């Protein structure tokens, strides 16, 4: 049976992990908001009429956001020793 201090330490690690993902989600929301307000109107007025490939740019943007989030998570979590 684990001691109370070991349980508290384990719970602290879980709280840090949840907090980290909450913070990453917050920043992803900021990026999405800025994209919605500034980048998408510019793309829709300049780039999309030229290429007509709106779905390609949406996919690329989603891939970069996901890549950034996973990279941040991997960097923060570090090696599991």
Share of residues in the chain with pLDDT > 70 (%): 75
Q: How far is residue 41's CA from residue 48's CA, in Å, rounded to a whole number? A: 10
Position 73 pLDDT exceeds 60: yes
Please report, for the chain, the start and end positions of each structural domain, with discontinuous segments joined by +.
26-76
Cα–Cα separations (whole angstroms), residue 70 to 19, 42, 53, 65: 15, 27, 26, 9
Flag whether the pTM goes above 0.75.
Answer: no
Name the residue among 24, 35, 30 with its Cα closest to residue 61: 35
- Give first-to-last CA distance, the chain, whole Å: 22
For the record, the structure tokens of 28 come out as: 């992803």
Inform me whether the pLDDT recorded for 64 exceeds 70. Answer: yes
């Amino acid at each position: 049976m684990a001691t109370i201090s070991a349980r508290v330490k384990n719970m602290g690690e879980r709280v840090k992990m949840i907090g980290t993902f909450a913070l990453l989600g917050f920043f992803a929301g900021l990026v999405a908001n800025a994209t919605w307000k500034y980048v998408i109107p510019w793309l829709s007025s300049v780039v999309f009429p030229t290429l007509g490939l709106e779905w390609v740019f949406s996919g690329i943007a989603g891939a970069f956001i996901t890549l950034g989030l996973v990279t941040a998570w991997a960097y923060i979590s570090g090696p599991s020793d």
